[in-house]
Amino acid sequence: MIDWSQKELLILAFDHRASFLEKMFDIKNRQPTSEEKKEIEDYKKIIFEGFKLSIRKSVPKEIAGLLVDEEFGSSVLREAKKDGLTFAMPVEKSGQEEFDFGYGENFANHIEDFDPTFVKVLVRYNPESDAALNKRQLQRLRKLSDYLAQKKRPFLFELIVPALPAQLAKFGGSKETCDKELRPKMMVESIKEIQAAGVEPSIWKLEGVDKPEDAKAIVKQAQSNGRKAGVITLGRGESKEKVQEWLKVGAKIPGIIGFAVGRTIFWQPLADHKAGKINRKEAIEKIAQNYIEFTELWLNECKGR
């Protein structure tokens, strides 16, 4: 059994689909045309080129990872496999509040076809949410967890705990205050309920927290009852400064083994390229530089452990 709490994993995440279509390409409530799909696939390749450039420059290959979707990144997945890179692939349907499989009951065939290092899900879960909704999600996740355990495939679980209106109201509608005061407790409770349902991630991909004691409580729950799970901090599309704050907190906590940052790294370079402000090569270089900066920050902060 691999002790994931002792690993190190720094992921450049670009498995965005629904949000990518809508916010980068203004495609809403419809499928992209074949021409649009080619352009989207090319933008994913730009990010991948930035990832590869960062490794050629300075990011250690053994701790670098990428996360990309099959829908627009299948060629990236194939190349990552061929080149011996660490990569994760999502199996959830994108843009939904409720977790379900992107390819329905056929999820296993897609996993076996691409043979990723990690199988990833994104799940929105709040312990105080609709009980029937939570139960449905947990049943599907148990099915996936059992399958991955049987196949000895590592499970990367991205947990988002969205605040309910009633919870926000307790903090005067302030998402920021709710984030600081309530979300960390809700994250611990969510992890506990997910584990109790027999769902066993290898690595939890979690929203950052501001207080070290909250980070420690989250790791403690992730590793409860002798579990060897690791935790990585996601970026949530926040500003570079906010993500840096979260990483500085996490880097000091044993059990938090890295990060998975996406939009904060790639969005602006891609948007500038799309607007004609920079060329393809410059976009690749900017993405590489952003990823390198987060990697250097992480490695420097970890020295203080």
Query: Looking at residue 88, what is its pLDDT?
Result: 98
Candidate from 1-5, 79-83, 148-152 with smallest mean pLDDT: 1-5
Q: Per-residue pLDDT for 304 more than 70? A: no
Query: Looking at residue 238, what is its pLDDT?
Result: 84
Q: Per-residue pLDDT for 156 more than 70? A: yes
Alpha-carbon span 220 to 212, nearest angstrom: 12
pLDDT by residue (tens digit) across 86-124? 999 999 999 899 999 999 989 999 999 999 999 999 999
pLDDT by residue (tens digit) across 56-96? 999 999 999 999 999 999 999 999 999 999 999 999 999 89
Q: Per-residue pLDDT for 305 more than 70? A: no
How much is the pTM?
0.95
Alpha-carbon span 281 to 283, nearest angstrom: 5
Alpha helices in the chain (DSSP H): 18-25, 34-57, 70-82, 107-114, 131-151, 165-169, 175-181, 183-196, 212-222, 240-250, 263-274, 280-302
Nearest to 183 by CA among 219, 213, 207, 157: 207
- The single-letter DSSP state of residue 29 is S
Average pLDDT estimate for 224-248: 92
Average pLDDT estimate for 221-241: 93
pLDDT exceeding 70 applies to what percent of the chain?
99
| Torsion over CA: 294, 244, 19, 280 (sign) | negative
Query: Looking at residue 11, what is its pLDDT?
Result: 98
pLDDT by residue (tens digit) across 276-296? 999 999 999 999 999 999 999
**Domains defined along the chain, listed by start:** 4-302 (3.20.20.70)
Average pLDDT estimate for 19-34: 95
The mean pLDDT value of the chain amounts to 95
HSE of 146, CA atoms in CB hemisphere, 13 A? 8
Return the bridge partners of 269, or none: none
